[in-house]
Amino acid sequence: MDIKLKKSEPFTAWLCFFLAASIIGGLLITGLSALARFDGSVQALKTTFTDYKRSIAFKEQTGNYYRELFNLVADPAADPSSKEWTVKYLDNEGENLIYYAVNKDSGLLVKNIEGDLPQISGAEIMPDLPAGYNYYWYFDGRKVWVVEDGQPVDVERLDSGYRGIIPGIYTDNNSGLANSEIFLAVKDTLGKNPYGHSQYYMEQQFMRVLGWIYIALLAIGISLLVYAVIRRREKREFDRVLASWSGKMWLEVKAALSLLVLSLAVACSPSFSGGYVFTFEWVLGNVVVSGFVLFGFWWFYLMLVDLIFNGKSFFTHNSINSLFAWYRKYESRYPWQKSMLNRAYLLVAAEAVLALMSVLFLLTGISAGGLSLLAAFLIAGAGIYLIYRYLKLYDETLSDLGRLMDHIKIVKNGDMKTRLEVPADSNVYPAAQNLNSIQAGIGIAVAEKMKSERLKIDLITNVSHDLKTPLTSIISYVELLNREEGLPEHINDYVKILSQKSERLKNIIQDLFDLSKANSENITLDMEQIDLARLIKQTLADMEEPISDSGLAFRLNIPDEPVYILSDGKKLYRVWENLITNALKYSLPGTRVYIDLIADGGTAHAGIKNTANYEMNFSADEILQRFVRGDASRTSEGSGLGLPIARSFTQICGGLFNVKIDGDLFKVELRFKQYFRERKDD
């Protein structure tokens, strides 16, 4: 119930507003129409409201009576029955009205005054009237005089309320009225007439009631308006509902209805000034007119609300757009390429039809002219508009397609964050959505991959730490044992073995860690321009002692000029150190080790060759697998990771690493892209 109440509140508030505006508007229209009746004289309207005897209705009614008498006086040949009818008509007022009319030329005399006629000469003289009659009209044969409370009234004044009411205010000498007199006097207090229907009395009563109704309606209207203003937020809610209803109408329908309403209101407006004021007919007429005008008002109010709430769609929701939208929907049932083609075909067909029609109308227009010519131009205009729409759509589709292609490039380049925004009504919208979801999917996959790489690094670091900590204790205590004196000889041998093996374990762990780190692709590199020739020379100089101890001859073919590459010097040193160590370890005594470096202007080729001191019964691939050692035995020093580390480090430094085995010849080839900073600076 509570909900229902809340739901109805907007409507209630709106209804209050509607009634208030209607009532106030109706009263306003009535007032305006009354004002129009007095040619815009506010003074006359004011007296009309305050006193019936001053009202236009009273004056008009008196004018009616006067007209009857005037017609009798002016038409001596009139039928006697009309005289009888007039007397009867006037006598309905009873004591409220005394009158006489004389035409001495035709001998006509009608009166309801007993005894002699009052002596009147113009308006200056106050006639000898019975008590209670203070208002009279007097026609002296030439002019009409009106006297209110002993004061003559200037009947020609706009605000007097007599303009257009008194027939024959002036007459000339030849009209046959020179010897005529008409006199009318109205009683001060109008009484109910038991003999007939006093128009005066009835109108006085009606006006009194009408005044109260007017005031009551005004009060109701104002209080409703106040309520509506207080609840304006709820009222607005219902405005929104109204807007949503009227928003469903096409613009064309609205325009047509608006024209219709406007013409109705205009057609009604002349009746504003018609009829008697404050008579029943007048009120009824005003209600009808107000109804039409108010209907017009509410219609345009609805349009205004529609415009405010629906904004742009007030204009865009029209039959043409609806037609296009319907076509879109129809089109979406076909594959993209088919619908694009269909659209082009349809355009051609429609253009053909329109062109034909235009030509036909033009031909008939040349002979008939006018409307046909206009139709021809309109149809031609429609054809041009259709082409414009098609081209615009085509342009939009192409630009969206271009953006789609650009975005594919963006995704290809690794940007997984930027979204492709394409309007929902675009032809490539589904494709854009699909691309966006592919991009999001890849983004998630990459993030997962990064996360698992991160975990891998953490694992390597932690395992390395957990291996190194106990090893530290082992090595430390073995060293302490080593320093003990007086141990038996065989215990010393044991300690020596422990010392060697723990040292080897240390090397293996360190190598394993380095290799895992390199392979996890998450190693920090310090890339700079270095001279590969110098690096090889430096490494050889650094290892001079073991080289000269080995008895092997090193044959170098390294250029004197620098061979620049972009690499990490420390890592590359490790590569060459490993390669040279490898050569020293596995070369046949007395043979030569060849180190070559050739730069061909684009690529630096470096190589190391040695003759193996054992039969290499394995492939180049096998030797690069971790823990496969050249001599297949595992007794010697070293971790067996020398070559894999050299390869991994070469690769992360941006080089290629290749092993070749040819009989007893063991050959490692390295390739790097040459780096020319000078060229870059140009």
Q: Which stretch binds another protein (CB under 8 A): 153-161, 252-260, 372-380, 536-544?
A: 536-544
Amino acid at 29: I
Nearest distance from C-beta of residue 612 to another protein, angstroms: 27
Place of tokens 């030439």: 142
463 binds another protein (CB under 8 A): no
Contact 537, 578 (CB under 8 A): no
Nearer to another protein, 434 or 476 (CB): 476
Residue type at position 213: I
Q: How far is the first Cα of the chain from the last one, in angstroms, to the nearest whole number? A: 84
Q: Does 42 bind another protein (CB under 8 A)?
A: no
Dihedral of CA atoms 437, 440, 446, 448 in degrees, nearest 10, equals -100
Taking the complex as a whole, the smallest distance from the CB of residue 404 to another protein amounts, in Å, to: 43
Residue 173's Cβ-side half-sphere holds a number of Cα atoms within 13 Å equal to 0
Q: How far apart are CA 314 and CA 308, in angstroms?
A: 9
> In the window 570-599, what residues touch another protein (CB under 8 A)?
570, 572-573
Instruction: Tell me which stretch binds another protein (CB under 8 A): 98-106, 127-135, 267-275, 460-468.
Output: 460-468
Q: Which of 244, 434, 461, 522 binds another protein (CB under 8 A)?
A: 461
Alpha-helical regions (H) of 543-568: 544-550
Closest CB 506 distance from another protein, rounded Å? 5
Q: Does 459 bind another protein (CB under 8 A)?
A: no
Stretch that binds another protein, among 19-27, 339-347, 401-409, 466-474 (CB under 8 A): 466-474
Cα–Cα dist 7/1, whole Å: 10
Residue 238 token pair: 């219902």
Q: How far is the CB of 591 from another protein (least distance, A)?
A: 22
Residue position matching structure tokens 């020093």: 637
How big is the site for another protein, counted in residues (CB under 8 A)? 40
* Binding status of residue 550 toward another protein by CB under 8 A: no
Beta strands at 97-103 and 564-567: parallel, antiparallel or unpaired:
unpaired
561 touches another protein (CB under 8 A): no
Rounded (5°) CA angle 279-282-285? 150
- Near another protein by CB under 8 A: residue from 401, 498, 540, 661: 540
- DSSP helix/strand/coil, 519: helix
Residue from 178, 360, 373, 471 that binds another protein (CB under 8 A)?
471
Cβ-contact 23, 224 below 8 angstroms: yes
Q: Which of 404, 530, 604, 646 binds another protein (CB under 8 A)?
A: 530
The three-state (H, E, C) secondary structure of 279-321, written as one string: CHHHHHHHHHHHHHHHHHHHHHHHHHHHHHHHCCHHHHCCHHH
Nearest by Cα to 659 from 553, 603, 562, 582? 582
**Radius of gyration in angstroms for the set of CA atoms belonging to the chain, rounded to a whole number:** 58
In the complex with another protein, the residue whose CB is nearer, 140 or 542, is: 542
Contact in structure between 53 and 186 (CB atoms under 8 Å): yes
Q: How far is the CB of 456 from another protein (least distance, A)?
A: 15
Which of these ranges, 42-50, 95-103, 230-238, 563-571, lies near another protein under the rule CB under 8 A?
Answer: 563-571
**Structural contact between residues 126 and 119, judged by C-beta atoms closer than 8 angstroms:** no
Supply the minimum distance, in Å, between the C-beta of residue 479 and another protein: 5
Q: Which of 92, 59, 279, 71 is nearest to 166 (CA)?
A: 59
Residue 174 identity (one-letter amino acid): N
Confirm or reject binding of residue 387 to another protein (CB under 8 A). no
Q: How far is the CB of 458 from another protein (least distance, A)?
A: 12
Cross-strand pairs, 152: 147
Closest CA to 213 of 224, 221, 201, 223: 221
Q: What totals of helices (H) and strands (E) does the chain contain, helices first?
A: 20, 13
Q: Report which secondary-structure segment, H or E, holds 54.
A: none
Can residue 458 be called a binding residue for another protein (CB under 8 A)? no
Choosing from 506, 605, 626, 671, the residue that interacts with another protein (CB under 8 A) is 506
Q: Return the H-helix or E-strand segment holding 486.
A: none
* By CB under 8 A, residue 638 contacts another protein: no
218 binding another protein? (CB under 8 A): no
User: What is the closest distance, in whole angstroms, from the C-beta atom of residue 462 to another protein in the complex?
Assistant: 9
Q: Contact region for another protein (CB under 8 A) — 287-295, 416-424, 457-465, 489-497?
A: 457-465
Asked if 567 touches another protein (CB under 8 A), the answer is yes
456, 537, 605, 667: which one contacts another protein (CB under 8 A)?
537
DSSP bridge pairs for 587? 612
Among 524, 617, 633, 635, binds another protein (CB under 8 A): 524
Q: Which of 49, 206, 513, 618 binds another protein (CB under 8 A)?
A: 513
What is the rounded CA–CA span in Å between residue 409 and residue 418? 12
Residue 480 touching another protein (CB under 8 A): yes
Q: Exactly one of 464, 492, 581, 674 binds another protein (CB under 8 A); which one?
A: 464
Binding another protein (rule: CB under 8 A), the pick from 85, 280, 336, 477 is 477
Whichever of 247 and 638 has its CB closer to another protein, that residue is 638
Min separation Cβ 463 and another protein, Å:
11
* 510 contacts another protein (rule: CB under 8 A): yes
The answer to whether the beta carbons of residues 321 and 314 sit under 8 Å apart is no
Residue 542 sits in the site that holds another protein (CB under 8 A): yes
Tell me the closest approach of the beta carbon of residue 451 to another protein, in angstroms. Answer: 21
Indicate which single residue of 539, 582, 610, 650 sits in contact with another protein (rule: CB under 8 A): 539
Query: Minimum distance between the CB of residue 604 and another protein, rounded to whole angstroms?
Result: 12
* Two tokens, residue 38: 């007095």
Nearer to another protein, 564 or 666 (CB): 564
Q: Which residues contact 559 (CB under 8 A, 6 or more apart)?
A: 533, 597, 598, 599
Dihedral Cα 202, 207, 208, 212, nearest 10 deg = 140
Binding mask 394-433 for another protein (x = CB under 8 A): ----------------------------------------
The yes or no reply on residue 544 touching another protein (CB under 8 A) is: yes
Contacts to another protein by CB under 8 A: 461, 464-465, 468-469, 471-477, 479-480, 483, 502, 506, 510, 513, 517, 524, 528, 530-532, 534-535, 537-542, 544, 560, 567, 569-570, 572-573
